[in-house]
Chains A and B, each alone.
Chain A
């Protein structure tokens, strides 16, 4: 009996396996299909209230993308602190409380962005606060200590806040081009009347935190007047002049673009570049993305009634398509991602469907019956969403927040190798993620030739309505015909790196300065007659991507990081004396450029026990004897 049951079980498993195989084969053939897996991964959040926005971010730098959910609270409901789901591969655990990232202001969080504020290669958190009748409602900055434990450092780096704030969207970038990260937040005042369709008289309020370069920030007004209740904020270089511009979605006043003059001062240019100058719409989200692969940022504005798509032609926008939204709750957010890895950006409308790009930036809906997104359309009040390859299979998955119910995680079932991902480990100012960096993927051998551009991405913080994608650029890169690609990365300061001959199916680690290559280490016995010393000899090779190495630093990684040596750029070995033969050692070697920027470490573990017996003289003798 038991035997039969086992047989039946194994038959069932075999059947499921083959169905899975067939399913994988079908979905691998470029067809967009998702499976809702929020319960499987335990990332649903609160059932009754809260979900407003989401950030995909690798807070603990373990290579797995974590989820930060921004929750709005309500006075008459249980508290809904923000959630930090740490990704453990096959499951997530909410550790916001223990890690100090819950930001539990009673009325909750709207805008929040993860950005490397202090250039220490981890993601810090800027969480804005939305005033809900409970004072004080202040913004907060949390420093990541490197292990994804956060410390509220607001009071030490920002002057005392005295005004309640009603921030929705926030932005982070080096707006003034001085090499450090500045911050922007919307609605720098309490209790604006969001439902007043008439724009307010302009108010010049300090809605920037300008980084002083020493880790502190000064609130400043930089030309963006508060004229109307603002929802989503996006950043990007829409005019290609090398600085970061800002776009805002607003209620009552038309959503617009603010052009940066290069010094971090902004001017509203919406009317000049073809955006509507007068609407009574209630826009919630705004997104920049290059939907037609021509190297500039097109624009999508999400309003109550749908998504308006604007094509960028020589920094002028023209509306060319509208995707209507028929649900009673307003449309809030769109995300652009190449969900089918075919080389162009598709569109996901939060709480709605996927719209497939025809390659020219025109979008056509994929019915939920095909895409598997039925659950997206049943969400009670969908809000912000964001994209990430959370399972590392090379396709983009979607997390969608839901104000009045559980959030959703849609796993992309594509699983092919037609992709290239690029993660910026450090830019010339040491920032991981490098908001503002531009990544252009070309057909191999044609870098800089517009006709061969296969994708243009700009690293960004929050966009749309409170969404932040993973800090890794994802490109669909068809592998057919043995195609290869070159990736050009332009850092915010204009310096560039080119990674050539990339084959699809790989993740590139981009760095302004890259770690040394082929770090090796071995234990060697150095003998005197009455004393046997164990040496550890580390050797490495210079990384050809680096053209400005000043020195190498050697560290021992043993409950922390202990620097052992700073070596000149032409030295590629280091010997440690009198080590313990039986101990396991971990070492790291970094390259440092002339500005003091240090690469990611190349690391090595040297096990205990084994060591090499080597004699330079005996080796020499052998070498000399052989010719005889």
Chain B
């Protein structure tokens, strides 16, 4: 019985869609979406490194900031240049002695993204470069105090904006980072997948 009711409902909904009139596009933004945004980001970074996962857990939360400069090419198509950074800190334990350790990853990025902006929402996708500085600090009983260094890498990012007002948007994104270092004498994969949301304020020019 339930199956019949659900099937009928789906059929009526599909017929409605097929016969509906075209809707007027609701636009919050001007026709030429040439703008500059600043925003705050937050999210979770899932590092791929198995040792990281063993010591710190599978993910680490981060906060960050982002600036985006959009150049329309032929609306709704355009290009974004985005730059920003994020920082994450996480406490963990060494693998055998279980001493406290603390990791701080600071990440600066620059992306060049294709942007499809309807005025109500926008989608983007593009590659970029990453510059990560890392610092791991250890307990007093550990043989050394800390380790620090930096490394550059690449990323591919994609996501979207939901324009709440003409100046304010929500952002959701996913970024896959390719970055690894051999500086300690062994390989550490600092890459992974970042999932984040943010809120942005837009300036037009």
Interface locus among B64-72, B96-104, B169-177:
B96-104
Given contacts A615-B54, A617-B54, contact A531 B144 (CB under 8 A): yes
Binds A, one of B112-120, B125-133, B135-143, B153-161: B135-143
Query: Would you call B97 and A529 a contact (CB within 8 A)?
Result: no
When the two chains form the complex, which single residue of A529, A533, A578 contacts B49, counting CB atoms closer than 8 Å?
A529
Q: Does B106 contact A (CB under 8 A)?
A: no
Using A615-B54, A618-B54 as known contacts, say yes or no to A528 and B94 having CB atoms under 8 A apart.
Answer: yes
> Could you tell me if B138 and A528 are in contact, using CB atoms closer than 8 angstroms?
yes
Complex contact B184–A532 (CB within 8 A): yes
Q: Does A446 interact with chain B (Cβ within 8 Å)?
A: no
Do B101 and A533 touch across chains, with their CB atoms under 8 A apart? no
- From A25-33, A519-527, A599-607, give the one contacting chain B: A519-527
Contact status of A526 and B147, CB under 8 A, knowing A531-B136, A531-B138, A617-B54: no
Interface string of A571-615 (1 = CB under 8 A from B): 000010110000000000000000000000000000000000111
| A530 with B96: CB separation less than 8 A | no
Q: A529-B103, A529-B188, A615-B96 are in contact. List 6 more A-B contacts (CB 8 A).
A: A524-B96, A527-B55, A533-B94, A535-B96, A614-B96, A616-B96
* Shortest Cβ gap from A219 to chain B (Å): 57
Q: CB of B134 within 8 A of chain A?
A: yes
Interface centre among B96, B149, B188 (most CB of A within 10 A): B96
A398 to B205, CA, bound (A): 111
* CB of B51 closer than 8 Å to a CB of A: yes
- Bound-state CA distance A614–B98 (Å) is 12
Is A526 a contact partner of B95 (Cβ separation < 8 A)? Answer: yes
Q: Is the CB of B55 within 8 A of A528?
A: yes
A529 partner, pick from B56, B143, B185, beta carbons under 8 A:
B56
- Are B188 and A617 closer than 8 Å at their CB atoms? no
Instruction: Give chain A's interface residues, CB within 8 Å of chain B.
Output: 524-533, 535, 575, 577-578, 613-618
A-binding residues in B (CB < 8 A): 49, 51-52, 54-56, 92-98, 101, 103, 134, 136, 138, 142-144, 147, 149, 184-186, 188
Is B98 touching A529 in the complex (CB atoms < 8 A)?
Answer: no
B136 contacts which chain A residues (CB < 8 A)?
A: 528-531
Instruction: Knowing A531-B144, A615-B54, A617-B54 are in contact, say whether A526-B184 is a contact too (CB < 8 A).
Output: no
B138 close to A525 (CB less than 8 A): no
Cβ contact within 8 Å between B184 and A531: yes
Which single residue of chain A is at the shortest CB-CB distance from B134?
A530
| A-B pairs with beta carbons under 8 Å apart, 13 shown | A526-B94, A529-B49, A529-B101, A529-B136, A530-B136, A530-B147, A531-B138, A532-B184, A532-B185, A533-B143, A535-B96, A617-B95, A617-B98
List residues of chain A with CB within 8 A of the CB of B184. Answer: 530-532
The contact of A526 among B56, B97, B134, B144, by CB within 8 Å, is B97
Determine how close the nearest CB of chain B comes to the CB of A618; give it in whole angstroms: 6
Contact status of A527 and B96, CB under 8 A, knowing A532-B184, A532-B186, A533-B143 = yes
Cβ–Cβ < 8 Å partners of B95 in chain A: 525-528, 613-618
A residues near B56, Cβ cutoff 8 Å: 529
Chain A minimum-CB-distance residue to B186: A532
Whether B94 contacts A527 by the Cβ 8 Å rule is yes
Q: Which chain B positions have C-beta within 8 A of A614?
A: 95-96
B residues in contact with A617, CB < 8 Å: 54, 93, 95, 98
Which residue of chain A has the shortest Cβ distance to B90 in the bound complex?
A529
Name which residue of chain B comes closest to A577, CB basis.
B143
Residues of chain A within 8 A of B147, CB atoms compared: 528, 530-531
Nearest chain A CB to B99's CB is how many angstroms away? 8
Q: Which residues of B contact A618 (CB under 8 A)?
A: 54, 95
A531-B136, A615-B54 known; A525 vs B186 contact (CB < 8 Å): no
Do the beta carbons of B96 and A529 come within 8 Å of each other?
A: no
In the assembled complex, the CB of B45 is this many whole angstroms from the nearest CB of chain A, namely 14
A525: B residues at CB distance < 8 A: 95-96
- Chain B residues near A524 (CB-CB < 8 A): 96
Instruction: Contact check, B138 vs A529: say whether CB atoms are below 8 A apart.
Output: no
B144: min CB distance to chain A, Å: 6
Name the residue on B nearest A524 (C-beta).
B96
A496 CB, nearest partner CB in chain B, Å:
44
Least Cβ–Cβ distance between A578 and chain B, in angstroms: 4
A542 to B108, CA, bound (A): 57
Given the complex of chains A and B, what is the CA–CA distance between A528 and B95 in angstroms?
7
Q: How far is the CA of A314 from the CA of B96 in the complex (A)?
A: 66
Contact, CB under 8 Å: B96 / A528:
no
Query: Which residues of B have CB within 8 Å of A535?
Result: 96-97
Which interface residue of B95, B97, B184, B188 has the most chain A CB atoms within 10 A? B95
Contacts of B93 in A (CB 8 A): 617
List the 6 shortest-distance A-B pairs measured between CB atoms, nearest first. A578-B143, A530-B147, A527-B95, A526-B96, A615-B95, A530-B136
A617→B96 CA distance, assembly (Å): 8
User: Least Cβ distance of B89 to chain A in Å?
Assistant: 13
For residue A539, give the distance in angstroms from its CB to the closest CB of chain B. 14
Q: In the complex, how many angstroms separate the beta carbon of B130 from the nearest chain A beta carbon?
A: 17
CB distance from B110 to the nearest CB of A (A): 25
The answer on a CB contact under 8 Å between B54 and A527 is yes
Q: Specify which chain B residues have a CB less than 8 angstroms from the CB of A533 in the assembled complex.
A: 94, 142-143
Residues of B within 8 A of A531 (CB): 136, 138, 142-144, 147, 184
Smallest Cβ distance from B197 to chain A, in angstroms?
Answer: 27
In the docked arrangement, what's the CA distance between A133 and B39, Å?
110
Which residues in B have their C-beta under 8 angstroms from that of A532?
184-186
Tell me the bound Cα distance from A94 to B54 in angstroms.
62
> Within the complex, which residue of A529, A575, A578 is in contact with B51, where a contact is CB–CB below 8 Å?
A529
From A530, A577, A613, A616, give the contact of B98 (CB < 8 A): A616
A536–chain B nearest beta-carbon distance, Å? 12
Which chain A residue has the least Cβ–Cβ distance from B184?
A530
In the bound complex, CA of A443 to CA of B194 (Å) = 77
Which chain A residues border B51 with CB–CB below 8 Å? Answer: 527, 529
Distance between Cα atoms of A72 and B54 in the complex (Å): 76
Shortest C-beta distance, B47 to chain A (Å), equals 9
Determine how close the nearest CB of chain B comes to the CB of A392; give it in whole angstroms: 43
In the complex, chain B residues whose CB is within 8 Å of the CB of A616: 95-96, 98
B135, closest chain A residue (CB): A530
Q: What separation, in Å, do the CA atoms of A532 and B94 have in the docked complex?
A: 10
Interface centre among A529, A577, A578 (most CB of B within 10 A): A529
Cα separation A213 to B29 with both chains bound (whole Å): 102
How distant is B100 from chain A, measured CB to nearest CB, in Å? Answer: 10
Q: Give complex CA distance A578, B138 in Å.
A: 14
Task: Kindly list chain A residues whose C-beta atoms are within 8 Å of the C-beta of B186.
Answer: 532
Looking at the assembled complex, report how far the CB atom of B182 sits from the nearest CB atom of chain A, in whole angstroms. 11
CB distance from B97 to the nearest CB of A (A): 5
Chain A residues lying within 8 Å of B144, measured Cβ to Cβ, are 531
Instruction: State in angstroms the CA–CA spacing of A618 and B50 once bound together.
Output: 12
Bound CA–CA A422/B141 (angstroms): 46
Closest B residue to A578 by CB, please name it: B143
Q: Distance in Å from the Cβ of A576 to the closest Cβ of chain B? A: 11
In the complex, what residue of chain A is closest to B95 when comparing beta carbons? A527
Enumerate chain A residues within 8 angstroms of B185, measured Cβ to Cβ.
532
Chain B proximity of A337: nearest CB distance (Å): 55
| Residue of A527, A528, A533 contacting most chain B CB atoms (<10 Å) | A528
